[in-house]
Amino acid sequence: MYCVRNVTEDLYWIGANDRRLALFENIHPIPRGVSYNAYVLTDEKTVLFDTADWSACRQFLENLEHVLDGRDLDYMVINHMEPDHGASLEEVLLRYPNVTVISTQKAFMLMRQFGFHIDGHTLDEVHEGDTRCFGAHTVTFVAAPMVHWPEAMVTFDVTDGVLFAADAFGSFGALDGKLFNDEVSFDRDWIDDARRYYTNIVGKYGPHVQLLLKKAGAIVDKIKYICPLHGPVWRNDFGYLIDKYQHWSTYEPEEKGVMIAYASMYGNTEAAANALAAKLCEKGMTNVVMYDVSGTHVSYLISETFRLSHVVLASVTYNLGIYPVMHNYLMDMKALNLQKRTFAIIENGSWACKSGDLMEKFIQEELKGMTVLGSRLSLASSLQEEKAGELDALADAILASMAEETK
């Protein structure tokens, strides 16, 4: 049975959901599933915008057949060739061999690399600013390299103001019937998944996202719909979404607040983290969250680190080094180009406390634009009462740096 929705009178969402997949890209947990969005325009010509992951291929093809209603498919625009969107491309070619494939030179190269038999079909290589007319609708193509792969482009339907945004403006989370942003409570139910999607999938490429935002800014008054390849379609409140992207792509925190990420073997470092959290709240900073790095997938840690201004790293010393999962978290920050955060450090070690120096060295030498506060809480096995003054000083240093940033 087909499952489609109209976006406009002649534009249809024909995507599909995957709630069985545990790990997106085989690495990021998606407990709420994910949608693979594809769209069909039924103009004088019929036009498919992207395909779907192999796991969703059957539903996608059924949807496509239903919307075409016996018509042939004239064009297939591939904005992004990563297999979560391009994997069903060859199935489309087999069923609609007369289709003209419109995409970028790099995307055609990737199609061949993935083993798709595109040669012999009509291929239309497009470049920035090219246009194609399908009847009433004219589209223009905009290069979007590294958002999130090098071949990516976005397509803008200038007739109806529809931006086919590829990976930009997408989110983890399957669509439960509700397609549009104004059919859900995005800020309540979706923003955390949207942030986790952006920061872990595209977060590294902030400067490239900035370039795309500048291009989109030039036509923002003409955009009526944003159709991403994952998650809800946007048809209003663009300012909310663009503001989030502006923060994320410039690595500016969304909120003043403290994330305490702790690595604790027997609960003693966790106890110190708890004591600091309570102290911060007592002093009036209640936007505090705590995460056990051992029990929290790093994609959630990264997402929260993009959200908040201050990060406390509390780590035991392990094999004379940083606790491995804490180190992995730091490595992910580096990989994703995270910048502009203020760090405070709690270290623990029963006989050779090394984790504090090593974490500070990593932050100073491997990350960009970070600040490490001078106050540090050092523990020998556990937090004792005589350290109450140092704990208090650490909380004060965090609050003082927040006040300083507000000036």
Q: Between residues 198 and 343, which has the closer beta carbon with respect to ligand FEO?
A: 198
In sequence order, the 6+-apart residues with CB closer than 8 A to the CB of 28 are 172, 196, 200, 201, 297, 299
Applying CB under 6 A, does 196 fall inside the site for ligand FEO? no
273 is an interface residue for ligand FEO by CB under 6 A: no
Q: Report how far residue 191's alpha carbon sits from residue 392's, in angstroms, rounded to the nearest whole number.
A: 34
Examine residue 167 and tell whether it contacts ligand FEO (CB under 6 A).
yes
From candidates 80, 208, 376, 387, binder to ligand FEO by CB under 6 A: 80
| Spatial distance between the Cα atoms of 398 and 277, rounded to a whole number of angstroms | 11
> How far apart are the two ends of the chain, measured CA to CA in Å?
59
Which residue among 28, 85, 208, 279 contacts ligand FEO (CB under 6 A)? Answer: 85
Query: Where does this chain touch ligand FEO (CB under 6 A) — which range of 79-87, 94-102, 137-145, 335-343?
Result: 79-87
Among 18, 84, 193, 347, binds ligand FEO (CB under 6 A): 84
Does residue 226 interact with ligand FEO by CB under 6 A?
no
Site size toward ligand FEO (CB under 6 A) is: 9
Among 28, 195, 208, 230, binds ligand FEO (CB under 6 A): 230
Closest separation between CB of residue 399 and ligand FEO, Å? 40
| Sole window of 14-22, 62-70, 80-88, 248-256 interacting with ligand FEO (rule: CB under 6 A) | 80-88
Q: Which is nearer to ligand FEO, 153 or 363 (CB)?
A: 153
| Amino acid present at 238 | F
Cα angle 53-184-230, degrees, rounded to a multiple of 5: 20
CA distance 21 to 35: 11
Nearer to ligand FEO, 84 or 332 (CB): 84
Q: Which stretch binds ligand FEO (CB under 6 A): 78-86, 172-180, 242-250, 270-278?
A: 78-86
- Residue 212 as a binder of ligand FEO (CB under 6 A): the answer is no
Structure tokens at 234: 């946007």
Nearer Cβ to ligand FEO, position 134 or 172? Answer: 172
Q: How far is the CB of 238 from ligand FEO (least distance, A)?
A: 21
Whole-number Å distance between alpha carbons of 160 and 157:
6
Instruction: Report long-range pairs for 297-302 (Cβ below 8 Å, ≥24 apart).
Output: 297/28, 297/29, 298/325, 298/328, 298/329, 298/332, 299/27, 299/28, 299/29, 299/196, 299/200, 300/196, 301/261, 301/329, 301/332, 302/196, 302/199, 302/200, 302/203, 302/329, 302/332, 302/333, 302/336, 302/338
| Closer by beta carbon to ligand FEO, 208 or else 376 | 208
- What six digits make up the tokens of 253? 């925190």
Q: Which of 18, 82, 157, 304 binds ligand FEO (CB under 6 A)?
A: 82
Contact 292, 334 (CB under 8 A): no
What is the three-class DSSP state of 43? coil
For ligand FEO, the closer of residues 108 and 343 by Cβ is 108
Q: Cβ closer to ligand FEO: 85 or 137?
A: 85
> What does the DSSP 8-state code read for residue 188?
I
Q: Check binding of 148 to ligand FEO (CB under 6 A).
A: yes
| CA atoms of 147 and 153, how far apart (whole Å) | 8
229 belongs to the binding site for ligand FEO (CB under 6 A) = yes
Using the contact rule CB under 6 A, the part of the chain among 76-84, 125-133, 259-267, 308-316 near ligand FEO is 76-84
At its nearest, how many Å lie between ligand FEO and the CB of residue 103? Answer: 14
The whole-angstrom separation of Cα 221 and Cα 133 is 22
Per CB under 6 A, residues contacting ligand FEO are 80, 82, 84-85, 148-149, 167, 229-230
